[in-house]
Structure 1
């Protein structure tokens, strides 16, 4: 398991600066997306995927994952809303062209929210249908499609995640324990998701707080890393401390927490 750094952690940096910091920290890998200073231009990527790939290839770091958001918010054009299925599939064809050209092996999308008039069950049904349409597009391009279960989505329990994976064979996870821990799930209740992970996010959390300082949260990272190893996981561990209004994650020293997490993973790996 190797580390990566999420570009959206470094909101004041350019994409080139974020890549440079990843190198300076000895990580040498950067997850990319459409947010803050290091953002990719989504419109340009969708219009000319190969040209957008040329820019990121010049960064000189590994690019393990692309975070693709179909709309402009968590709810806009979300996968549980069937009205946008055709548009989302058209965009996703361009996304996987970019990933193939840039050598990005995995892409993660969000599962969707409970839309007006829906129940959680309705949202799962519609999301499963949307993901079943996206999966062959990714597979044909040699890209692994993943979803990230998250707070405020319809997918807020490990049991529902396993049901969705059963409904969409071949779908994988971008797994972030923090989204479950902050909702009150015990770590051992989240562990059954580990065999389905194709990408992992790391940050400390506790009940009621999606993000907190490494020594103030409740995730047992030694146990988490051991669970991933025992599940056969050999993908990237992306450190994802953020400074944003979402879930009030505004108050941590991103660089200090990133280095602390880097060192924790290295120390565990050396012992293993």
Structure 2
């Protein structure tokens, strides 16, 4: 397993500065957020100039992109064009996994299976693994539904974000059934109340050791990404919390 850092940890800074900060924290791998409403790189920018995007996400040999977290707001054909460009960017950058959101909770499962089947095939043309994140407010907020999606869409994986199972509607129950389908992991610490979705490392309910043990049983040899989101008026120094979780994860793998 490898510990990476998400650019979402440093969204108050421009992308180049965020990448430098991640490198200074001695990460060697970065999970780049490509969000249309984000402050760094946007899908609409990638589709306009893939080569320029590839230059922007590299700052030197010590830090390399290892995953993309993608939020596209375009629809239908425009969505596919943007995702295709991002998959091409991933291949150029030697990134093997891309995470997107599943459809909103309450959407039809059959329609989502059809949509994701097409997108998995699209990503596969560039040799990329496509995953959906386990996320409150989407179909994957319940682990059984997340597993069903993976069973019905060959090649689809999950990006496990346990915070959404701890603080979401599934809280207090096991989500062990998702582990065979996990292809990426996003981590922070989280309490059980909605206002405790992100707390100081060590003050929440995330069982990092157990998560890593479950992944190890399935020969998981991929990323564990520190994703402590850079929120306004955070009650802690972001770089210190990111460093703390990095060291904790490295001690467990």
TM-score after normalising by structure 2? 0.89
Query: Which residue of structure 1 aligns with residue 101 of structure 2?
Result: 110
Counterpart secondary structure, 2:86: helix
Counterpart secondary structure, 1:173: strand
C-alpha separation in 2, matches of 1:70 and 1:134: 13
Query: Which residue of structure 2 aligns with residue 255 of structure 1?
Result: 239
Q: CA deviation at 1:179?
A: 0.8
**Deviation larger for 90-99 or 38-47:** 38-47
Distance 1:37 1:85, change over 3 A: closer
Query: Which residue of structure 2 aligns with residue 68 of structure 1?
Result: 70
C-alpha separation in 2, matches of 1:53 and 1:257: 28
Counterpart secondary structure, 1:238: strand
What runs of 5+ residues in structure 1 fail to find an aligned partner? Answer: 72-76, 78-83, 115-119
Q: CA deviation at 1:176?
A: 0.7
Kept in 2: contact 1:244–1:250 (CA 8 A)? yes
Counterpart secondary structure, 2:130: strand
Q: Is 1:193 paired with 2:178?
A: yes
Kept in 2: contact 1:85–1:130 (CA 8 A)? no
TM superposition outliers: structure 1 runs of 4+ over 3 Å: 34-38, 57-60, 184-188, 249-253
Q: Is 1:147 paired with 2:132?
A: yes
Q: Is 1:224 paired with 2:211?
A: yes
Q: CA deviation at 1:220?
A: 1.3
Query: Of the two structures, which has the highest relative contact order with CA contacts closer than 8 Å and spacing of 6 or more?
Result: 2
What is the root-mean-square deviation of aligned Cα atoms in Å? 2.2
Query: Which residue of structure 2 aligns with residue 80 of structure 1?
Result: none
Higher fraction of strand = 2
Counterpart secondary structure, 1:26: coil
C-alpha separation in 2, matches of 1:242 and 1:128: 30
Counterpart secondary structure, 1:166: helix
Query: Which residue of structure 1 aligns with residue 5 of structure 2?
Result: 5
What runs of 5+ residues in structure 2 fail to find an aligned partner? Answer: none
Alignment deviations for residues 162-184 of structure 1 (CA, whole Å, 9 cap, x no partner)? 11111111101111111111125
Question: How do 1:1-272 and structure 2 match up within 5 A?
Answer: 1-34=1-34, 39-60=40-61, 61-71=63-73, 84-114=75-105, 120=106, 122-183=107-168, 185=170, 189-208=174-193, 209-244=196-231, 250-269=234-253
C-alpha separation in 2, matches of 1:161 and 1:135: 15
C-alpha separation in 2, matches of 1:21 and 1:198: 26
